[in-house]
Structure 1
Amino acid sequence: MAGIGFTLRKMTGRGDLWGIVQAYSYSALLSSGPWLFTIMSLVGITFLSRYLVTWDDLLIFRTVITYNFSFSLVFCGPIVLIGTRLLADQIHDDRLEHAPSLLFSMMLTYVLLVSVPLIYLYGYAADLTPSQRAAAIVGGYLIGLIWTVVVFVSALKNYTYVSAVFFIGMFIAFLACGLLLTNYGATGLMWGFSAGLAFILFGLLGWIFVEYPALPRDVFILWRQGGTYWVLGVSGLSYNMAIWVDKWVMWARDSKVDIVAGVLRTAPYYDSAMFLSYLFTIPIFAVFFVNIETAFFEKYNRFYKSFQKHATYTTIASYQREIINFTLLSLRNLVVLTGLLAILLVLSAAFIMETMNIPFKEIGVFRFGALGACLHVLALFAMVFLSYFDFRKPVMILNTIFLVANFTFSWLFADYFPLHGMGYFLAAALTFILAMACLVYNLKRLAYGAFITNNPST
């Protein structure tokens, strides 16, 4: 994202409000595009259809989309992290003729991994009509494939085109659902939503093939080269499971869950409040990627290039102090900004619930979710800094701790309705504290790590 940030930062420096709006909008889309698309589309479609279809049809549609989103994130986690690293290596080595092969390899891997659970769940276990089964399976494929494609889109510079594809896709989903829901109910909603997803997927693929015109010749490149970065795969899997594990616990333990299509369990009151709390953190992502990560990369690059120029230890130490001061100052500012956002969300929770037409009983979950999401984002940023210095194993351990803690705390509080969401908040707080401690410790040993512990030659 740092490479993108240089271009986006130029937009903010043009001196006009539109440039600032463009830069932060593109940053939000590139960091959270499929997620943002899904949430906004679901909100719009729900408002459109609440009086036009039965509650059962709407519940089937929302539940299938939620499950597909869960499947796609978990199965794409290791694929996307390993694929991102391999693409970065190709860009560094100027071997972009292999990019289409990597893309197809990532897409093929996702399809192979997700096919068995998707087909079993929707094709056999769930009580759905044949058309609904097909729509649910197609939707599961499309969402995950978009996640893999976004990795490559992030390396391109046509942000206007990317934004247009997402918004047109969202409009197509909204329009198609509106046309189909009256006559086809849940089936129409699922196929209409998939139409929007398909437009986004093929629209992004089209632009990628324009930028990377080489033919894919090695569709197993991810499997051959990805083993080197297995730690990243474990990190991606544990991190995305950690995001979802508290929802899985609620679906399994909560006595007030809805059972949809015979086997699909969901807790709408918990899920909607948590998704809404995530949505409010997107501006923090945009600020981080446009301003902080870009400036950090410049200092990071100068530090490592000083090795190649045979700089003195005094010079290297000064660059190290510059990185430490900038990183800690940036995180401090983010803590202040995110803390203010968290306080604002907690105090205005009742207004937000009323405006979004969400039952007031979800206010506790939303408040815990908002506090947890803010701490979660800060922990993620600390792990991004660690990843720049290739501290893969510490990041993997932090993500595993997040997963275990979120599962454990959510399980302990599952029987106490007033404390729903507390498990996620405590897990995020613990991960943030440990991530900050790990970052400070490794920043102080940065030169040692560059020359000794992270040096392949030793």
Structure 2
Amino acid sequence: MAGIGFTLRKMTGRGDLWGIMQAYSYSAILSSGPWLFTILALVGITFLARYLVTWDDLLLFRTIITYNFSFSLVFCGPIVMVGTRLLADQIHEDTLHRAPSLLFSMMLAYVLVVTAPMIWLYSYATDMSAAQRAAAIAGGYLIGLIWTVVVFVSALKNYAFVSGIFFAGMMLALVACGYLLGDYGATGLMWGFNAGLALILFGLLGWIFVEYPALPRDLAILPRQGRHYWVLAISGLSYNIAIWVDKWVMWLRDGNVDVVAGILRTAPYYDSAMFLSYLFTIPVFAVFFVNIETSFFEKYNRFYKSFQKHATYMTIDSYQREIVNFTLLSLRNLAVLTGLLAILIVLSAPFILETMKIPFKEIGVFRFGALGACLHILAMFAMVFLSYFDFRKPVMLLNIIFMVANCTFTWLTASHFALHGMGYFLAAVLTFSLAMGFLVYYLKRLAYGAFITNNPSI
């Protein structure tokens, strides 16, 4: 992600307020595009459709979108993590003519992995019409394929086009849903939303083919080269399960769930409060993307290039201390920013829930979710720093701990309404604490890790 971040950082250096606003707005879209698109589109479509379709149709539409995002993220997790590493290797080795092959290999892998469970779920297990089944399956494919394409978009420099295509897709979804919902209800909403997703997917693919014009010739590149990065695959799978496992537990354990299409369970009050709490962390993503990751990458690059230049130990040690100081100072500043953000969200929770038409009884879930989300992203940033230095197994361990803790704590607190959301919060506290401990431990051993533990020649 640091590639396009350098371009955005130049905008903040122009010295005018408009440049700063542009840079952070683009950063928010680029770092959270599919998620931000879906939240905004769902809010707009729900407002548009509230008085034009039945509650059952609206609930079916929102449930299908939730399930598609849930399972597409989980199935894409290993593919995206390994694919990101392989793309980084191609950039480093100046072999980007292989990028189209990698992209198609990732897309093919997702289609092969997700087809059987998705067709079983929507075609046989649920009670929907044929058009609704087809729309649900198409949406599952589109969302997952967008996750794979976004990996390649992050390496491009055309932030204006990327942002514009997400905005155009959101507007098309709103217009198409508004046109179709009157005559077709939930079916029209699902196909209208798919139209917006399709515009985003094919628009991004078109730009990628412009940037990487080589033909895809090796569709087996992902499994062949990716097998060396199995740790990353487990890490991506466990991380995405960790994000969703508390929702799955609540769908099973909460006594106030809605059952849709015969089998699909959802806890709309819990889900809405948690999704809304995630939305408020986007400004922190933008700050990290534009300012911190780009500056960190410069220091990181200088540290490793000093090896190639046969620098002295004193020079290497000075670069290492510079990285340690910058990383810990950046995380401290981010902790202050997210802490202030969390306090603001907690204090303004009644106003936010009233504005978003979320029942006031979910204020506890929203507050726990906001606090947990702030700690969650700090832990994620710590794992990003660890990943830069190729400490794959510690990151995998952190993600597995987060997954198990979120499942366990949510299961233990699910039967107590006042504790809803606390399971996720406690899991985030534990993961953040361990991530910071791991980061400090490994940062102090960067040179040893580079020369010994992560040296492929030893």
TM-score (norm 1): 0.99
- What's 2:56 paired with? 56
The DSSP-based 3-state class of the residue aligned with 1:120 is helix
- What's 2:136 paired with? 136
**CA-CA distance at 1:362 after TM superposition:** 1.1
Of 153-162 and 407-416, more deviation after overlay is shown by: 153-162
Separation in structure 1 between the aligned mates of residue 309 and residue 225 of structure 2, nearest angstrom? 30
Query: How do residues 410-425 of structure 1 correspond to structure 2 at under 5 angstroms?
Result: 410-425=410-425
Separation in structure 2 between the aligned mates of residue 27 and residue 77 of structure 1, nearest angstrom? 22
Task: Please tell me whether residue 193 in structure 1 is matched to residue 193 in structure 2.
Answer: yes
- What's 2:256 paired with? 256
Separation in structure 2 between the aligned mates of residue 5 and residue 162 of structure 1, nearest angstrom? 13
Query: How do residues 262-277 of structure 1 correspond to structure 2 at under 5 angstroms?
Result: 262-277=262-277
The CA deviation string for residues 113-138 of structure 1, in whole angstroms up to 9 with x for no partner, is: 11011100111110000000000000
**CA-CA distance at 1:446 after TM superposition:** 1.0
The DSSP-based 3-state class of the residue aligned with 1:319 is helix
- What's 2:30 paired with? 30
Separation in structure 1 between the aligned mates of residue 107 and residue 95 of structure 2, nearest angstrom? 20
Q: Give the counterpart letter for 1:142 in structure 2.
A: L
- What's 2:230 paired with? 230
- What's 1:327 paired with? 327
Query: How do residues 194-233 of structure 1 correspond to structure 2 at under 5 angstroms?
Result: 194-233=194-233
The CA deviation string for residues 141-169 of structure 1, in whole angstroms up to 9 with x for no partner, is: 00000000011111111111111100010
Contact kept, 8 Å, 2:3 with 2:154, in 1: the verdict is no
Separation in structure 2 between the aligned mates of residue 260 and residue 272 of structure 1, nearest angstrom? 16
- What's 2:366 paired with? 366
Of 190-199 and 448-457, more deviation after overlay is shown by: 448-457
Q: Give the counterpart letter for 1:310 in structure 2.
A: H
The CA deviation string for residues 301-323 of structure 1, in whole angstroms up to 9 with x for no partner, is: 11111111111111111111111
**CA-CA distance at 1:182 after TM superposition:** 0.9
Q: Give the counterpart letter for 1:57 in structure 2.
A: D
**CA-CA distance at 1:245 after TM superposition:** 0.1
The CA deviation string for residues 4-54 of structure 1, in whole angstroms up to 9 with x for no partner, is: 211110010011222112211221122111111111100110011011100
**CA-CA distance at 1:456 after TM superposition:** 0.9
**CA-CA distance at 1:326 after TM superposition:** 0.6
- What's 1:68 paired with? 68
The CA deviation string for residues 249-281 of structure 1, in whole angstroms up to 9 with x for no partner, is: 000111100000000000000000000000000
**CA-CA distance at 1:195 after TM superposition:** 0.4
Separation in structure 1 between the aligned mates of residue 39 and residue 48 of structure 2, nearest angstrom? 14
**CA-CA distance at 1:419 after TM superposition:** 0.4
Structure 2: gaps spanning 5 or more residues: none
Q: Give the counterpart letter for 2:383 in structure 1.
A: M
Q: Give the counterpart letter for 1:335 in structure 2.
A: A
The DSSP-based 3-state class of the residue aligned with 1:357 is coil
Query: How do residues 52-451 of structure 1 correspond to structure 2 at under 5 angstroms?
Result: 52-451=52-451
Contact kept, 8 Å, 2:3 with 2:156, in 1: the verdict is no
Separation in structure 1 between the aligned mates of residue 324 and residue 362 of structure 2, nearest angstrom? 41
Separation in structure 2 between the aligned mates of residue 316 and residue 214 of structure 1, nearest angstrom? 39
Separation in structure 2 between the aligned mates of residue 78 and residue 23 of structure 1, nearest angstrom? 30
Separation in structure 2 between the aligned mates of residue 307 and residue 97 of structure 1, nearest angstrom? 28
Separation in structure 2 between the aligned mates of residue 25 and residue 6 of structure 1, nearest angstrom? 15
Q: Number of paired residues?
A: 458
Separation in structure 2 between the aligned mates of residue 344 and residue 374 of structure 1, nearest angstrom? 12
Structure 1: gaps spanning 5 or more residues: none
The DSSP-based 3-state class of the residue aligned with 1:32 is helix
The DSSP-based 3-state class of the residue aligned with 1:408 is helix
User: What value does the CA root-mean-square deviation take over the aligned residues?
Assistant: 0.6
Identity of aligned residues (%): 83
Separation in structure 2 between the aligned mates of residue 240 and residue 217 of structure 1, nearest angstrom? 30
- What's 2:457 paired with? 457
Q: Give the counterpart letter for 1:373 in structure 2.
A: A
The DSSP-based 3-state class of the residue aligned with 2:157 is coil
Separation in structure 1 between the aligned mates of residue 3 and residue 149 of structure 2, nearest angstrom? 17
The DSSP-based 3-state class of the residue aligned with 2:214 is coil
Q: Give the counterpart letter for 2:404 in structure 1.
A: V
Separation in structure 1 between the aligned mates of residue 318 and residue 90 of structure 2, nearest angstrom? 31
The CA deviation string for residues 184-232 of structure 1, in whole angstroms up to 9 with x for no partner, is: 1000000000000000000000101111111111111101110011100
Q: Give the counterpart letter for 1:89 in structure 2.
A: D
TM-score (norm 2): 0.99
